[in-house]
Structure 1
Amino acid sequence: MASPDPAPSMASSSLPRDAASVLELAARSMFDLFASASEGMLLVDREARVVWINDQYRRYLPALGFPREEDFVGHPVSSVIENTQMHQVLKTGKPILIDLLTNRAGTFVVSRIPLRDDQGDVIGALGIVLFDQTGTRMQPLVAKFGQLQQQLHDAQQQLAAKRTASAHGARQSRYTFASFVGSSPAASEVKRQARRAAQSGSPVLLLGETGTGKELLAHAIHAASPRAEGPFVSVNIAAVPDTLLEAEFFGTAPGAYTGADRKGRVGKFKLADGGTLFLDEIGDMPPGLQAKLLRALQEGEIEPLGSNQLVPFNARVIAATSRDLPALVARGQFREDLYYRLNVLPVRVPPLRERRGDIPALIEVLGEDMAHRGSPPPELGEDAVALLAAQHWRGNIRELRNVLEQAALRADSDRIDAAQMEALLRQSGLAQVQPVLPPEPALPDAGALLRPLGEQVAELEQRAIAAALQATGGNKLATARLLGVSRATLYQRLQTPE
């Protein structure tokens, strides 16, 4: 569209004689000045439609998403320019002389001026881009404003995401396989199995003693699965009273029972829709609820408490237990059909005593976590670390963390040696402190392996007996129990090595 007619010349021979002509000439001159000196101009009519843009403004059209001028001019200004205030100027008749505007094309310093006819009615508005983000004079201000706007936008998105997650009772996984510390053969094998399980949609059953990291692995499996963008919902069955478990799992209909929420309640199965539901301590589930859980897993639908309607759900189930489920099945305390439904992909999480080589790395990671939480970790000598690696750790990683926290609080010196650590272990309630394990024997050369097998087995047997005697302080009865042999067999091995 052509631009407005240029203003007449201001040569001295053609100076106007009346004030109205002077004002008209000044207005046209100012218009030409802004059109040439500004970064862009546009006009809108009284209906807030764009009716004209100048050459400088045309360079913003591609960034605004309009490759052709006809897709921009002739359209309502609010539909082609984000965050515009031109309609506000038309409504109030008041100018906005200086403002900061941010849209897809960038951040700009702009002016907006109403246009009036001879009767004083607003017939349109003029928008002027005074400076853009590339200008050197206003660049620091515009850049700072743009940065603050981006930070505000990011904060609003994060807040909205948190509100959405809270409304759906969902949260994302906190750990990945990198969080499962250890490079020992046992640790590497459990991570290999868990990675394979992550690619399947079948139920996973994590088996292992308390404190071995089963929940961490459940998070990691979810994070590596195709459902990683969905919610991760966790239920500790042992921590929920039996009378509330059904409502916790399946939700409740409005007014299902006295004291129930009048709006009803969404259960964990539905909250986990599209993601993963982690059932911790599944071995503690009461028998009456096991049948309902089995049906939910088989049918893919649940029935909220107090409702007659079936609600479909789509959640991948990961269960974990520290109990012996086959033994519970044999005693009739756990449904056999539910056990087989959950035991599709079993993953055994090894206890800490089966991966002693990972303990130094675990101590370092646990110490970093303590420091992050504001508690300085203890400084341990190599002999103290070796002593910790020799313990049985019935509570596994959880117990190791507890000992490190106690050591940080009780230590009398900056660096803890083996003697101090032994005293700390006894103070922590450990009944029997195991001595430092002997170093691993070097691999024999090929010549040493060319001996009769019975001779090599007897040698290893003597080493095991010696280590057990050292661990029990020479108590032969305790040594026999530790080795899992009778006292007579132990005496025989001590007297005549075979």
Structure 2
Amino acid sequence: MPTDAQARLLAARSLLEMVEEMIDGATIVDERARVVWFNPGQLALLGGVALRDVVGQEIERVIPHSRLREVVETGRPQPLDVIQYGDKTLLVTRLPLRSEAGEIIGAFAFALKNSIPHLRPIAERVHHLQARLARMEQALSTTRSHRYTSEQILGASPAMREVGRLLRRAGEVRSPVLLLGETGTGKEMAAHAIHAASARVNRPFVAINVAAVPENLLEAEFFGVAPGAFTGAARQPRPGKFQIAHEGTLFLDEIGDMPLTLQAKLLRALQEGEVEPVGSNQLARVDVRIIAATSRPLAKMVEEGRFRQDLYYRLNVLSVRLPPLREREGDIGLLASKFSERTARAHGVVRRPITPQAQSLLERHSWPGNVRELANVIEQIYVRAEGASIAAGDVADALGITVEPPRHEPAPPASRLAEALAALEKSMIAQTLGRCDTRESAARSLGLSRSNLYAKMQRHGLTGTGGGQGGADAPGL
């Protein structure tokens, strides 16, 4: 008899099957956000996968950007969400499933069909707003707008699920965000995603790499230059990154490389919301949301006096650690497949699948360059190697490593093989003679003629019958 939880999951499935004509796709997950059921429409949206192949998998491994785990973990419904799924705009509802005692036992989601008459005005309104937003974004300078969203940050590992949760939270608040992680883990992409999820999405996104700007030019880059501030300065004021990012987001990459003298001025700008251009006595008001990133150990630098403690606390309100690729179990194959698809599209060629041997080699690599290195390896393979798929040899060449060929036991010399066969033949004949009452029955058991058996017995020095090698000859033979 099914448990209460199983009965309720079945009831949810029955309900969704009853309204099959009204929905594009439907999904049910259990209390651990594992796939319980997809309706045929959802399987079609996923490219025609078989239900038996995905049942029991974590939902993010099948639908990387699913928010059903969020519903399971919080218990809060998401009655209406508009998502873009390929070339489709879907109106999605996500609801938790509870037991009779009120405990979360799973969640389900369904996408309503746009063809339903009373939803057409909503869909048309959504399309109108999306077209308007696209025009507004196009009007902004492409260098001052975000290039990535959270949907483009792939990862189904527990570490990346937590990153996704924190990035969504960062988009909801106005506080500074500190992104920590090794080089190549995707800190700038995360900064873009936070800006895209925030209320400042239609305002500028301005990035500056602190480590890439000479120290004597950093202040001018940050705060701008007044007319005639120094010999050779322009007659018109030159705004700094703070002024350009007004009402938007300022991304300070490699903040750990900022000199102490500028750290004090940055702290004042953050606290007071105003900057003073180089060569000017006038203060300019700015409204900027700061996202900082570093691969350096800032906490240790504070202890050593190489980074201001007050600035550290100002920046470290919401910190997000981007895990290195070696800690993202199960994500390498997902990322490699995505990079293969992206590279094929960029080069105008057919996408190459990754063989199991190649994927195994990718997963064994330590990836010191993290996601950036993986993307580079896949692109190298497309440029340097030919073939319909990505093989282990292609990966080894791109990584600059040597793969040992499978070991095979060397074939024994012909003389040894002949000796081994002769010993086996002698042993089988002797055992058969010991088991049978007569040589005739022994010959039949071995599939030999009597004359052939006699010849082999003579060759191997076997003279016995019935009772063994030393027995007498059987009558009639």
Q: Where on the TM-score scale, by shorter chain, does this alignment land: which range?
A: 0.5 to 0.7
Which of these residues, 169, 172, 178, is aligned with residue 199 of structure 1?
172
Distance 1:301 1:352 in 2: 39
Distance 2:344 2:145 in 1: 24
SS in 1 for 2:378: helix
Whether the aligned pair in 1 keeps the contact of 2:377 and 2:395 (CA below 8 Å) is: no
Kindly tell me: are residues 380 and 170 of structure 1, through their superposed partners in 2, closer, same or farther at Cα, counting changes over 3 Å? closer
Kindly tell me: are residues 165 and 244 of structure 1, through their superposed partners in 2, closer, same or farther at Cα, counting changes over 3 Å? farther
Distance 1:271 1:183 in 2: 36
The aligned counterpart of 1:221 is 194
The aligned counterpart of 1:176 is 149
Deviations, residues 266-320 of structure 1 (Å, cap 9, x unaligned): 1111111111111111011111111100110011100001000111100110000
Extract unaligned runs of 5+ from structure 1.
Answer: 1-153, 436-498
Distance 2:353 2:211 in 1: 36
The aligned counterpart of 2:317 is 344
Matched, 1:425 2:399: yes
SS in 2 for 1:265: coil
SS in 1 for 2:292: strand
Deviations, residues 208-266 of structure 1 (Å, cap 9, x unaligned): 01111111111111111111121111111111111111111101101111222210101
Deviations, residues 342-392 of structure 1 (Å, cap 9, x unaligned): 001111111111113111111122122212322646542111012102211
Distance 2:403 2:233 in 1: 52
Kindly tell me: are residues 244 and 265 of structure 1, through their superposed partners in 2, closer, same or farther at Cα, counting changes over 3 Å? same
The one-letter amino acid paired with 1:387 is L
Kindly tell me: are residues 182 and 172 of structure 1, through their superposed partners in 2, closer, same or farther at Cα, counting changes over 3 Å? same
1:433 shift after superposition: 8.1
Whether the aligned pair in 2 keeps the contact of 1:425 and 1:433 (CA below 8 Å) is: no
Whether the aligned pair in 2 keeps the contact of 1:391 and 1:434 (CA below 8 Å) is: no
The aligned counterpart of 1:396 is 370
Kindly tell me: are residues 347 and 292 of structure 1, through their superposed partners in 2, closer, same or farther at Cα, counting changes over 3 Å? same
Whether the aligned pair in 1 keeps the contact of 2:352 and 2:390 (CA below 8 Å) is: yes
Which of these residues, 243, 257, 260, is aligned with residue 270 of structure 1?
243
The one-letter amino acid paired with 2:369 is G
TM-score (norm 1): 0.52
1:161 shift after superposition: 7.0
Whether the aligned pair in 2 keeps the contact of 1:356 and 1:390 (CA below 8 Å) is: no
SS in 1 for 2:201: coil
Q: How does 1:30-69 map to 2 (within 5 A)?
A: none
The aligned counterpart of 1:130 is none
Q: Tell which deviates more after alignment, 263-272 or 409-418.
A: 409-418
1:189 shift after superposition: 0.5
Whether the aligned pair in 1 keeps the contact of 2:137 and 2:202 (CA below 8 Å) is: no
1:419 shift after superposition: 4.2
SS in 1 for 2:270: helix
Q: How does 1:152-191 map to 2 (within 5 A)?
A: 165-166=140-141, 171-191=144-164
Kindly tell me: are residues 371 and 423 of structure 1, through their superposed partners in 2, closer, same or farther at Cα, counting changes over 3 Å? closer
Distance 1:289 1:300 in 2: 16
Q: How does 1:368-447 map to 2 (within 5 A)?
A: 368-374=341-347, 376=349, 378-426=352-400
SS in 1 for 2:400: helix
Kindly tell me: are residues 248 and 375 of structure 1, through their superposed partners in 2, closer, same or farther at Cα, counting changes over 3 Å? farther
Distance 1:434 1:339 in 2: 49
Whether the aligned pair in 2 keeps the contact of 1:251 and 1:305 (CA below 8 Å) is: yes
The aligned counterpart of 2:8 is none
The aligned counterpart of 1:315 is 288
Kindly tell me: are residues 170 and 422 of structure 1, through their superposed partners in 2, closer, same or farther at Cα, counting changes over 3 Å? closer
SS in 2 for 1:373: helix
Q: Report which of the two structures shows the higher radius of gyration computed on alpha carbons.
A: 1
SS in 2 for 1:259: coil
Deviations, residues 171-215 of structure 1 (Å, cap 9, x unaligned): 221111101011111111011011112111110000001111111
Whether the aligned pair in 2 keeps the contact of 1:256 and 1:307 (CA below 8 Å) is: yes
The aligned counterpart of 2:185 is 212
The one-letter amino acid paired with 1:199 is E
The percentage of aligned residue pairs carrying the same residue is 56
Distance 1:183 1:412 in 2: 30
Deviations, residues 321-359 of structure 1 (Å, cap 9, x unaligned): 111111221222111111111001111111111113111
1:415 shift after superposition: 2.8
Distance 1:161 1:222 in 2: 13
Distance 2:375 2:313 in 1: 35
Extract unaligned runs of 5+ from structure 2.
Answer: 1-130, 406-477
Kindly tell me: are residues 260 and 231 of structure 1, through their superposed partners in 2, closer, same or farther at Cα, counting changes over 3 Å? same
Matched, 1:361 2:334: yes
Distance 2:289 2:137 in 1: 22
1:409 shift after superposition: 2.5
- Number of equivalenced pairs: 273
Distance 2:320 2:403 in 1: 31
